[in-house]
Structure 1
């Protein structure tokens, strides 16, 4: 009997966007699918996936929300108008996050064949896009690493305040991405996938138990940078992560909430608390634009480096081979121990025969001596008494 394929679902971030576009809360969506709010939250964060009838009902509901969202966009879209060719202007870039897609508030620039040229009688058709050779998985991974690794190292430094831990967390995240490369390559935002993994490793509470991370590292040379870094490190891990994602990287509030696995109101509260704490120590950073500039300057002032992509890939492959061999060796040892136990274990219980031991200290058995006068009187008294008890009274007829 063959199992039918599971109903396809959009990515977790897309599920959250569809729900928020329809102005539905997690509780309302859970009521429509007949599940709990915690289940919807787990589905939207990607921790769990629906199965069976719940998956089908959830997929139908998301499809309906997507159709409604597309209809709203069609109704609200203005009619296309020919636009003049814009003059290219240099855009400001940030050292915290390389732009991997359209930023919020930005519009795509028209291509060479999108508008009508002055004086032309008819609009030219779109020019065919140039064909690029397909990249191998290793080449695509190297391109993603060279594009985003330096910025991710700087972000991890703002989270931890440790240069070596920042570099190691980014390398571990890319090694994990290489192990799951088909999944990461198909992801809508592979940089966000790696970023979330690097943040989880950098903020892991187990890092404090590592001997190499117990010793403090040299602080930044600039006093202002030291004060800002200390203010960041005084924040809680989740508040620090929310502040870096929103004011440092530049994500919007729903994306920040989705990446930190929190609701949008909770992410907003964390962001406000983090800003108030930083502004309490540095009043000049009350403005979000000034705070973004100072975070960028703090991250770019340190000499942070990232390893070569080839070394990261090979390191991940070595770690995967080591774990595989260790698992195989442990399995073989367990099978061998089990087989030895089955071979040598007795099939039935045989009680052990205890060896004979001479008993010492027991008095020898002797014949009783002569009775005393009191013992003889007691014996005679017992003999004289009736052995069958008192006489029974029998009724007689008179």
Structure 2
């Protein structure tokens, strides 16, 4: 065994997160049972099934073996039955066998040759074996090279085909989920832009349309849209009373219940797939579905007395009719969505590069202007006691100021000089 074969056996491939949950529920295994078998917690198993984490090493091998689908049971190979020659009665004589009959019986050493029978009909020739079944169109019968009549589909063509097939219907579904036409179109275009950015991941997904639908629903149900002025209030409801009652009943449901009802009775998913897309357990999804049906049945009298199967069929028809009757905006062409996605990715890349460059420049400026040596800080002042106040002339009074002014205005003559006289 080569090293590459050993590595592949040590790290088995895992399906997508949604497929992991489907395989686990197909085997009737709970999260607790899987966690106990692998040796982890239920939260870890839940994170594996939602795509937030992925197992590694020995746990990956155990988990992959635990959820691996059962191999298809092949029918047992039917061996060709050996036609025994007819039994010979004692009354039959030993006559010569016609040449045709003798040629039809093979001369095998382990099979006894019966005595010839007089006037026996020649043995029928063995039936022709059935022709080998033709290989299926999807089976990989090529060895390294493609068939000459097949054309390789580019990623852009595959994306455009998915967009043209699912975008219009997805806009109508999102409108029933939010009640806002502009938000429905924006959510679908935003989901396809994200899908084009992650196209290698979306292209190999088991359900690419479901991947885009989940992204569109998550964006449309974001509570931050309430802060936007254009999406604070839903659009005008339908004018027909029956459609308006269903429309109001859907919008009055909590978002999680509304999404569960729309996926199960509107889109037509089964219960495990609905639970996986809403990131809830199967019993929780079933409870939400029953509660949502009961709330809608209060608004629609024809659903109150119907059986669960009839309720599902009626809701499917009514929701489909409501979605087709409403005039929702047509999404942009696929090429415009791809171009917008590439422009946004390019813009965010340039913004990230500019942010990193600005951070490097600020760091360099800080290092350049920072002091290169330590300067001892000046100690804070302290109050000193026992020192006499500073001496000096006192403050002049009003009388002193008046005298000073008068002296400054008059000339300083002084007394006359005394001259001595002789007597």
The answer, yes or no, to whether TM exceeds 0.5 is: yes
* Equivalent position of 1:323 in the other structure: 348
SS in 1 for 2:20: helix
User: What is the distance in 2 between the residues matched to 1:285 and 1:19?
Assistant: 34
* Equivalent position of 2:13 in the other structure: 8
* Equivalent position of 1:126 in the other structure: 134
Alignment of 1:1-398 (within 5 A): 6-63=11-68, 66=69, 69-70=70-71, 125-126=133-134, 129=137, 131-286=149-304, 287-304=311-328, 305-351=330-376, 363-364=389-390
1:363–1:137 CA distance, 2 compared to 1 (3 A): same
User: What is the distance in 2 between the residues matched to 1:280 and 1:219?
Assistant: 19
User: What is the distance in 2 between the residues matched to 1:362 and 1:7?
Assistant: 91
User: What is the distance in 1 between the residues matched to 2:58 and 2:200?
Assistant: 28
- What's the TM-score, normalizing by structure 1? 0.72
| Structure 1 residues 284-320: Cα deviation after superposition (integer angstroms, max 9, x where no partner) | 2342211111101111111121111011111111111
Runs of 4+ aligned residues of structure 1 deviating over 4 Å after TM superposition are: 120-125, 127-131, 351-354
User: What is the distance in 2 between the residues matched to 1:344 and 1:362?
Assistant: 46
1:12 CA drift (Å)? 2.0
Give aligned pairs, total: 313
1:330–1:230 CA distance, 2 compared to 1 (3 A): same
User: What is the distance in 1 between the residues matched to 2:27 and 2:40?
Assistant: 19
1:352–1:254 CA distance, 2 compared to 1 (3 A): closer
1:364–1:268 CA distance, 2 compared to 1 (3 A): closer
User: What is the distance in 2 between the residues matched to 1:202 and 1:321?
Assistant: 24
User: What is the distance in 2 between the residues matched to 1:176 and 1:218?
Assistant: 30
| Structure 1 residues 163-205: Cα deviation after superposition (integer angstroms, max 9, x where no partner) | 0100110101100000011111111110011111111101111
Structure 2, unpaired ranges of 5+ = 1-6, 79-127, 138-146, 305-310, 380-386, 393-423
User: What is the distance in 1 between the residues matched to 2:337 and 2:280?
Assistant: 31
1:301–1:146 CA distance, 2 compared to 1 (3 A): same
1:48 CA drift (Å)? 1.7
SS in 1 for 2:29: coil
1:127–1:51 CA distance, 2 compared to 1 (3 A): closer
Given that residues 19 and 206 in structure 2 are in contact (C-alpha distance below 8 angstroms), is that contact kept between their aligned partners in structure 1? no
For the pair shown, the structure with the greater C-alpha radius of gyration is: 2
User: What is the distance in 2 between the residues matched to 1:246 and 1:215?
Assistant: 26
1:122 CA drift (Å)? 5.5
**Cα-Cα RMSD:** 2.9
SS in 2 for 1:296: helix
SS in 2 for 1:126: coil
User: What is the distance in 1 between the residues matched to 2:263 and 2:134?
Assistant: 38
1:157–1:134 CA distance, 2 compared to 1 (3 A): same
User: What is the distance in 1 between the residues matched to 2:303 and 2:317?
Assistant: 9
1:226 CA drift (Å)? 2.1
